[in-house]
Structure 1
């Protein structure tokens, strides 16, 4: 039995839903990656990379082209994000704690992210509609595909808006996962939602705590 065959084999059944190993393992690592992102740990990126590699098998078995594309993007952006956070770490010799500095996006950055999300979703949905074999749910798949990319780019830049992007992705990701037979993905998306809220609160408070320090330094 190949590794891919084993990953796409059934781990167990719960509430009449068949849980695959790839779905369970990949999303469990994804949860760890999100928790590490909350803690602003650079190890969030290797965890996202590993999660993406495993989940490619899960989405391919469910014939979700957008999901496969999403995970390939996760793999690529995880490498870029690792590089960005290596450069952006607050080093101890500079008075930092070794973690990434976080901030709110400027209005220009928000506009670029929003425009990229809209244009990207239209383009990818058009591609999926033109080639139905890529996805049976082109608009939802495109939304998640592009939303994930936007969220990871914002995370790599240390923007608080990264959490808002994940919230919007979850709103579509949960029902789509259940409807696609990826029950564990659906359950994990619900846990993601809670982690995202906590992570948003933590990063938000950190930006408020950093502001008086910056203002004092400027004075």
Structure 2
């Protein structure tokens, strides 16, 4: 892609995509800080992306946004009424067996829904769309439960998502996910430090 075509694409982006991206960045930065406000940003960003993804034919991604809306409410409640001494949910870790099961379930669900989408719909990139969708379903739940390794899962999912969005012409959204990759590294380090502090 040339610089000119990228500039043309950036100029063609809607105001709504810009707002969704800004709220998405705010969401992740607030997650790093373990701020309850992250869930408000998540709800707003998700509502906008629900329409955007449907409009460009990413069926699974648009369906994922419905789940994100529910998880924004669930995450808000979990973080506020968690199991810590002060009512705040503490960071936890999963054992290797749980990770193997989780990854196996994501890959199996992605293969099945990818086949169904390829056969019965005109969905774009059905297998990649399915992988990012099922991976995001699991990983968002991990965030809501404050599972430390969620950050490592996001590294993989966000990397695949960048390709998906570039293919669909959602250049600002792809840029958002590139920013996410940087924030994810800092988020993992910050949560790991907090986890070690709370475990000592």
1:166-205 equivalences under 5 Å are 166-205=154-193
In the alignment, structure 2 segments of 5+ residues that lack a partner are none
Runs (5+) with no aligned partner, structure 1: 1-12, 213-219
Q: After TM superposition, what 4+ stretches of structure 1 lie above 4 angstroms from structure 2? A: none
Aligned residue number for residue 124 of structure 1: 113
- The 1:63/1:80 distance shift into structure 2, 3 A limit, reads same
Match of 1:157 in 2: 145
Structure with the largest fraction of strand: 1
- Report the alpha carbon displacement of residue 46 of structure 1 after superposing the two structures with TM: 2.1
Shift of 1:14: 5.6
Q: Secondary structure at the match of 1:23?
A: helix
Q: For residues 91 and 19 of structure 2, what CA distance do their matches in structure 1 show?
A: 29
- 2:78 corresponds to which residue? 84
Structure 2 CA distance for aligned equivalents of residues 44 and 210 of structure 1: 22
Root mean square deviation of aligned Cα: 1.9
Match of 2:27 in 1: 33
Q: Bigger CA drift: 70-79 or 112-121?
A: 112-121
Q: Is the 8 A contact 1:102 1:160 kept in 2?
A: yes
Counterpart in 2 of 1:6? none
- In structure 1, the partner of 2:59 is 65
Q: TM-score, normalised by structure 2?
A: 0.88
Count of aligned pairs between the two proteins: 194
* Separation (CA, whole Å) in 1 of partners of 2:76 and 2:109: 24
Work out whether residues 91 and 191 of structure 2, in 8 Å CA contact, stay in contact via their aligned partners in 1. Answer: yes
| Bigger-Rg structure (1/2) | 1
In structure 2, C-alpha distance between the alignment counterparts of 1:108 and 1:87, rounded to whole Å? 28
Kept in 1, the 8 Å contact 2:89–2:145? The answer is: no
Change (3 A) 1:30 1:89: farther
Contact 2:80 2:88 in 1 (8 A): no
2:18 maps to 24
C-alpha contact 1:35 1:195 (8 A) present in aligned 2? yes
Distance in 1 (CA, whole Å) between partners of 2:120 and 2:19 is 30
Measure how far apart 1:182 and its partner are.
0.6
1:6-46 Cα shifts (integer Å, max 9, x gaps): xxxxxxx9622121222211121111111111111122122
